Amino acid sequence: MKLQRKNRLRATALGALAVSGALVLTACGSDDNTGAEKEGSGKTTTAASDIKCDDAEGQLRASGSSAQKNAMDLWVKNYMAACSGVEINYSSSSSGEGIVAFNQGTVGFAGSDSALKPEEVADSKKICKSGQGINLPMVGGPIAVGFHLEGVDSLTLDASTLAKIFDTKIKKWNDPAIAALNDGVDLPDKAIQAFHRSEDSGTTQNLGKYLGAAAADDWKYEAEKNWPAPGGQAASGSAGVASQVKAVDGSIGYFELSYASSQDLSTVDIDTGGSAPVEATSENASKAIAAAKVEGTGKDLALGLDYTTKADGAYPLVLVTYEVVCDTGNKADTLGTVKSFLTYTSSEDGQKVLTDAGYAPIPEAINAKVRETVAGLK
């Protein structure tokens, strides 16, 4: 079981590299058969990858969610290969830092794993002079719960046990609650070392939303970006949490699936109360995200997710990362690049790379609205 799962994770990581390489090679194809130079701009549009450089120029700075870093790395590489003379600089920090940077006017867009709060929308109006910040869902995927427990190949947990583990109420791996979900597994009498994010994080907030919805009796904290529970150990960014889990026997932590893939980590199957425990995969996350409803108003496309789903094969611990932009009032010197880049990321080609990178594409019905909104940004 462990070998099969790790082979799948390794294949996901290699698939991401293969897709990235293939698309970049496509974008860098010969001038006479893959691209047409945009008149008067000196920039090349690559028809094969459907990247339209349009009015993109100069440097575009963006920052925020580390959850989407691996997706953003692929997108930026492919886009910059197609659009010569354009530089996209995405700083992977955290959702909280990205929103602060956006509302200070230092970035063209921000990545956030949680939709803007009302007070953040109010702050955005100072930067979006004639409008406000809006949420554009761009990346979906599972929040994997990775673990490192020598001698244990696979592990099933439910929302209640996860809540108690991250709230330090369950302290040993052979706790009866864990044993009851893992019949026949030789669980060691070893202390659990639970890792969480040290900085404000949309991934943390989404974990809190899931635990608050699916384990309301055991998780009494508000779903905030800062870690709410006592105890545990902190690490910076999803990469930092994954690295700590990789290094420490007896550990558990949460991060996007791509980080589990790159670190070759085992992940928890979640018992939702459905017919069988559900593995953290892009396909299973897509089944849950497909049921999302747009809750935003106007041009805002914030989504409502069902964290309590029991649908067969639907992995409930998911997040959606938004790109936060001004609906109107974007800076004139970056507007063309913002629209061009987000047109690519929301395109069919842009969304295709997500699955092989451990993410889940945004459902087409929602993504069509994203493309329409991007086209109308001012």
Mean pLDDT, residues 155-184:
98
The β-bridge partners of 63 are 91, 110
Point out which residues pair with 266 in neighbouring strands.
147
Instruction: Say if residue 324's pLDDT is above 90.
Output: yes
Task: Name which of 17-21, 173-177, 235-239 the model is least confident about.
Answer: 17-21
Q: Return the pLDDT at 21.
A: 36
Q: What is the percentage of the chain residues whose pLDDT exceeds 70?
A: 87
Q: Is 65 in contact with 113 (CB distance < 8 Å)?
A: yes
**CA nearest 307: which of 276, 279, 270?**
270
Helices H / strands E in the chain, number of each: 13, 15
Tokens describing residue 125: 């109006």
Q: Would the pLDDT of 48 be above 80?
A: no
- Determine the average pLDDT of the residues in 322-345: 97
Of the CA atoms within 13 Å of residue 56, those in its CB half-sphere come to 29
Cα–Cα distance between 60 and 108 in angstroms, integer? 6
Confidence of residue 151 (pLDDT cuts 50, 70, 90): very high
Bridge partner list, 156: 269
How high is the pLDDT of residue 296? 94
Q: Are 197 and 97 in contact (CB under 8 A)?
A: no
Over 90: is that where the pLDDT of 16 sits? no
Q: How confident is the model at residue 49 (pLDDT cuts 50, 70, 90)?
A: low
Indicate if the pLDDT at residue 328 is higher than 50: yes
Question: Distance between CA atoms of 320 and 270, rounded to whole angstroms?
Answer: 19
| Longest CA pairwise span in the chain (Å) | 70
List the alpha helices (DSSP H) in the chain.
2-27, 69-82, 95-103, 118-124, 159-166, 176-180, 202-214, 237-247, 257-263, 282-289, 332-345, 348-356, 364-375
The pair of structure tokens assigned to 87 is 């530089």
Which of 3-12, 35-44, 331-340 is the least confident region?
35-44
pLDDT at 115 over 80: yes
58 φ, ψ (degrees, to nearest 5): 70, -150
The torsion angles phi and psi of 239, rounded to 5 degrees, stand at -65, -40
At 233-292, the pLDDT tens digits run 999 999 999 999 999 999 999 999 989 999 999 999 999 999 999 999 999 999 999 989
Summary mean pLDDT of the chain: 88
**Using CA atoms, how far apart are residues 187 and 193, in angstroms rounded to an integer?**
15
Q: What is the pTM of this model?
A: 0.78
Does residue 196 have a pLDDT over 60?
A: yes
pLDDT band at 37 (very low <50, low <70, confident <90, very high): very low
Average pLDDT over residues 127-156: 96
As a whole-number percent, the residues of the chain with pLDDT over 90 amount to 78
What is the residue-wise DSSP string for 254-310? EEEHHHHHHHT-EEPEEE-SSSS-B---HHHHHHHHTT-EE---TT---EE--TT--
Q: How confident is the model at residue 50 (pLDDT cuts 50, 70, 90)?
A: confident
